[in-house]
Structure 1
């Protein structure tokens, strides 16, 4: 047992928290990844040439949700933010299930679900990571975040498999309702994590007790980002990440819509790609991510994938075929889940509680979806004006290089802030220097 725990970088007393964190991510991602292929199919149904409108609609919906979440985060006790948010989204899923059961071919229902799920996934995942960055120290994050992310990948593996197997007998309405059950179950895992931290409090691990609201106003997260060079760097990193993802996403929609015409077959192909991605991510997260972060720092997690993607874009520009695309997409997504996402979350462990919820949510939702919308229109303009997908891939390579440079700077800055943080000497943590 000791050797097994040591092999996973788990210290005594952390086992129950790791199990609860794994369960939280597994349940959340299983439900989401059952729905992801459904979303992609509905996006293609509206026409690949209209995807940029869906991206713009998602960005607008995210802007609407930001003050609502900010209001909740300012007034609810910190431990109640996740249950309230997840409970609301679960009720939404039941409503969509009823709409799909009543009229499964309604195009406007499909578009509404596409936009809703695109907001749902960023907000719920960001909030789950907010809880973890709040409950674990920087040192624990380096050791455990990669392992905890494996719960997400395991859910991302079982979700597409369940979706692929159940889409025919249950239909889209049945999958949506089942995802709501998984989301409700994830609330229990988050509650256990909170109780575990109550029993084993970190010395000065937070500047505000979880039993009290964060305070402030609904727009505090946005203003904090504008005032902090460190948070602005994270925001720019996320914009570049979103741009790389969007360029590849449009290529995915174009290539798969041309290769597979049946909607059920499209859903199965999307699900198969998801399964391969998550399988590779799990292996990396369990055996590599934590050791890399502990020995080489957060920066290596933020730089490796962008550099590989720069090469991948060039390859895809020279050979724009389905097989090459699958390889590039699998490497990008597996690398993001296994390396980039845990590394990105480690950046927030040196911040105060309010930034971990509000500023982080603003970056993970509004900034990310804004990058989506902008890069979506850029990609569409390149396709229309030049009708040369290769040009977009070469531009994507340049964006990936900038992404890597930004990740390197953030890794160095995080290490500096961690050393300077008064919390390491037993005093409450403070935010990075503000301009």
Structure 2
């Protein structure tokens, strides 16, 4: 219950920040996204040894406290910059804020799930991670609702102060959870993980499961970033003004998270408990394959949903993200309970940050190049269909990787390789 409530405040904070940053990309369109993601990728590579140092040297309670406190201060520091956004420029402020939000994701959202994978066993994770994720999904719905109400009243910049308050509440709860868990027999919460600063990179090459997860991240990110780039062009062409664009991206997040919450209440817990976490990776890949095939057939037009005309691009991004948050994420994090501590913290975070942002850079650069050659929405979606087919095959291998520890075994060191 405490974990679900803490994740509620984490995601409330994050989903207040997201539309604030997304309206900057909507102001400049997809042609500037390679610049945004290129800067993020470089910063992620530079931060890999820094994060490795923090994890290796400091116990998790200190790591949580210092990381979250740093980002609370950063949120407050960005307020004056957004007050004068028009004077600074959406492109210039967008590069800085995009980088910061990505680092926010590393040290806040990803660190939260590394912590959860550390205090729950794999059997517990399959039962409770969808419920903890549901708490986060409630925050991911509440955050956009707060933003939708407040952005018209107080504007964009003061939203960052609201986000800082939510993140502070999450920190208080996480420190309490850590203190409770550290009192249990066998807890290693007062000890640092140790190991190499570059263990996240080394783990990627040495552990088969992590290689599958990196490929799955690249393929899934390719589909998501393709949809994001196409929607950025749509927003630039059809939506005028900072407030209107913030409201548009906020609505995308709201509908995405409603879908994710419905999945976490119904299909996801049944699938993880009855069929195993591997199917939580495979099914969303099949859904992506079907969606992209549909977009390739329909192009960039509109369809009728409950009597309203909706762009197929909006349907694509809402559905792919809804399944990613509502099913893939709980499945992935439950699998990380079956790997050693260094993989759980350093390897996981390297995949979810540096590898993720490399995929962003690769896909947005490719989209711009393909646009230059005259490839439209349908052609890009057809390429995405091929990527989704590859993702389905990799998801099948990742969910049943031979170097995962047996289900139910708590792992603090590397599991032995399977006997041939």
TM-score (norm 1): 0.89
Alignment match, 1:334 = 322
3-state SS in 1 of match to 2:373: helix
Correspondence for 1:196 among 166, 173, 180: 180
The alpha carbon displacement at 1:200 in A equals 4.2
Alignment match, 2:37 = 55
Residue-by-residue CA offset, 1:160-200 (whole Å, 9 max, x unaligned): 11111111322222011221121121111211222332344
Superposition pairs of residues 223-262 of structure 1, within 5 angstroms: 223-262=202-241
1:213 paired with 2:192, answer yes
Q: Distance in 2 between matches of 1:290 and 1:173?
A: 38
Alignment match, 2:404 = 417
3-state SS in 1 of match to 2:405: helix
Q: Distance in 1 between matches of 2:379 and 2:320?
A: 19
Correspondence for 1:37 among 6, 14, 19: 19
Q: Distance in 2 between matches of 1:196 and 1:401?
A: 44
| C-alpha spacing 1:263/1:432, structure 2 compared with 1 (3 Å) | farther
Q: Distance in 1 between matches of 2:197 and 2:180?
A: 29
Is the 1:31–1:180 Cα contact (8 Å) retained in structure 2?
yes
Correspondence for 2:244 among 236, 245, 265: 265
1:402 paired with 2:361, answer no
* Structure 2 unaligned blocks of 5 or more: 303-309
The alpha carbon displacement at 1:427 in A equals 8.4
1:360 paired with 2:340, answer no
Is the 2:217–2:356 Cα contact (8 Å) retained in structure 1?
yes
| C-alpha spacing 1:390/1:99, structure 2 compared with 1 (3 Å) | same
1:143 paired with 2:123, answer no
3-state SS in 2 of match to 1:413: coil
| C-alpha spacing 1:432/1:396, structure 2 compared with 1 (3 Å) | farther
Residue-by-residue CA offset, 1:202-237 (whole Å, 9 max, x unaligned): xx6x7xx22111122321111111111111111111
Is the 1:70–1:219 Cα contact (8 Å) retained in structure 2?
yes
Correspondence for 1:171 among 155, 158, 164: 155
3-state SS in 2 of match to 1:172: coil
Residue-by-residue CA offset, 1:405-434 (whole Å, 9 max, x unaligned): 1111111227x7332x7x83x885424649
Q: Distance in 1 between matches of 2:5 and 2:412?
A: 30
Is the 1:383–1:389 Cα contact (8 Å) retained in structure 2?
no
The alpha carbon displacement at 1:98 in A equals 2.5
1:378 paired with 2:366, answer yes
CA RMSD for the aligned pairs? 2.0
Alignment match, 1:6 = none
Count of paired positions:
407
Q: Distance in 1 between matches of 2:416 and 2:254?
A: 39
Q: Distance in 2 between matches of 1:312 and 1:286?
A: 22
Q: Distance in 2 between matches of 1:408 and 1:258?
A: 39
TM-score (norm 2): 0.92
Q: Distance in 2 between matches of 1:105 and 1:45?
A: 14
| C-alpha spacing 1:131/1:432, structure 2 compared with 1 (3 Å) | farther
Query: Mean alpha-carbon deviation: is it higher for 173-182 or for 135-144?
Result: 173-182
1:162 paired with 2:141, answer no
Alignment match, 1:310 = 289
Is the 1:316–1:393 Cα contact (8 Å) retained in structure 2?
yes
Q: Distance in 2 between matches of 1:269 and 1:102?
A: 21
Is the 1:123–1:364 Cα contact (8 Å) retained in structure 2?
no
* Structure 1 unaligned blocks of 5 or more: 1-18
Q: Distance in 1 between matches of 2:85 and 2:61?
A: 38
1:77 paired with 2:64, answer no
Is the 2:405–2:415 Cα contact (8 Å) retained in structure 1?
no
Alignment match, 1:321 = 301
1:393 paired with 2:381, answer yes
The alpha carbon displacement at 1:358 in A equals 0.8
Q: Distance in 1 between matches of 2:411 and 2:202?
A: 25
Query: Mean alpha-carbon deviation: is it higher for 304-313 or for 97-106?
Result: 97-106
The alpha carbon displacement at 1:264 in A equals 1.5
